[in-house]
Amino acid sequence: MNELIKKSDRLFLHKYDFFSIWKRILLDYFDEKIILNKMRCVNPKPWNDGPPLKIFVPSPNKIFIHHLIAALAFQKGFIRLGRLEIYLAMRPYDYHRFTCDGSAGYKLYHASSVLFQILFEKQFLCMLPRKDFIPWGKELSAEKNTSYSKLINVDPDFMYLVKITPRKDLHEIVQGAENLKALWHFVRQCFSVRSNQVIPTLEKWIPGCGPRLIFNNLSIVTEFGELSPPEVLKLFQMFSQWPEYDHCPFLDSMDTYFLRSYIDHNPEEMHEEEFGNIDDEDSVADADLDGISGSAEKIEGI
């Protein structure tokens, strides 16, 4: 690699530790210049311009993707350099988990699934041999967990190479970058229990909003887990544009949540709660995985 770089005046290699990205995002909360100073070799670009850099990252688990979601939602860390282009080698299990909808079962369909699909554009590129990546993935036997084995056996010998780019119109669809944090908190609150019904939940924040939601084809029994990511985005757009929004309890709960996080200065809590590491892989044990099988092409169509 070094020899290749020496022969080219257009290729530059910069080493950066993305496995500790959660720590760097956390530090960025207390000193906004830490990450940008680390990447001072990169010139920031406006959001609508081309990517300021291309990142190639092997991801042996879902943690990096969680923090990528958080960095974009909170406009922290390297996401402030511009609209990055990320080439991510990820496990088939993680690919399915972040691109599924409620039909995969509520145990798999999490807030992180919704946020990933709202915030990013993705393009499946190809499959790569898993053994080309170190560390190798941990194997789970079918005897220990029959349901989980159905999912982990989707292309078990491969990693998926996926191109991930933040949506170009992201700031427009949420009515400004400052509303990204509200979107993140809205999805997290609504999908904390996917079986919660939409209308009764939103009525707690804005009493009397039920007829507006029914007019938009939601019934009194519609659950959050039944909504697709585009439908969740549409729901947030409606909710945030209602005249009562600026004074509703939702904003008070959001301010209280983040104020508590800042005051406590608890790295473990901020890592697990604020940056989205909120679900356990083992929780998919009783998920509805009967329809999950085959190659990346089939999963792409879910």
Domains, the chain, with CATH or none = 2-171 (3.40.50), 173-283 (no CATH)
Contacts with 214 (C-beta within 8 Å, 6 or more apart), sequence order = 199, 220
Pairing of strands 85-90, 120-129: unpaired
Which residue's structure tokens are 């949420």? Answer: 174
d(CA 87, CA 95): 13
Average pLDDT, the chain: 76
Mean pLDDT of the region 259-265: 55
d(CA 166, CA 78): 13
Q: Are 42 and 291 in contact (CB under 8 A)?
A: no
Pairing of strands 54-59, 85-90: parallel
Closest by CA position to 83, among listed 172, 173, 175, 164: 164
pLDDT at residue number 26: 52
Mean pLDDT of the region 170-184: 89
d(CA 55, CA 68): 12
Secondary structure (3-state) at 17: coil
Q: Which comes out higher in pLDDT, residue 79 or 87? A: 87
The yes-or-no verdict on residue 189 having pLDDT over 60 is: yes
pLDDT band at 81 (very low <50, low <70, confident <90, very high): confident
- Model confidence pLDDT, tens digit, residues 216-254: 989 999 999 999 999 999 999 999 999 999 999 999 988
Tell me which range, 62-76, 179-193, 273-287, is most confidently predicted by mean pLDDT.
179-193
Q: Which of 11-15, 60-64, 138-142, 231-235 has the lowest mean pLDDT?
A: 138-142
pLDDT at residue number 82: 85
pLDDT at residue number 93: 85
143 burial via Cβ count (<10 Å: 0-12, 13-18, 19+): exposed
Q: Which comes out higher in pLDDT, residue 160 or 156? A: 160
41-72: b (≥16 Cβ within 10 Å) or e: ebeeeeeeeeebbebebbbbbbbbbbbbbbbb
The yes-or-no verdict on residue 22 having pLDDT over 60 is: no
Tell me which range, 74-83, 114-123, 288-297, is most confidently predicted by mean pLDDT.
114-123
Q: Provide, rounded to the nearest whole percent, the portion of the chain with pLDDT above 70.
A: 66
The yes-or-no verdict on residue 45 having pLDDT over 50 is: yes
pLDDT at residue number 62: 83
Closest by CA position to 16, among listed 53, 51, 60: 53
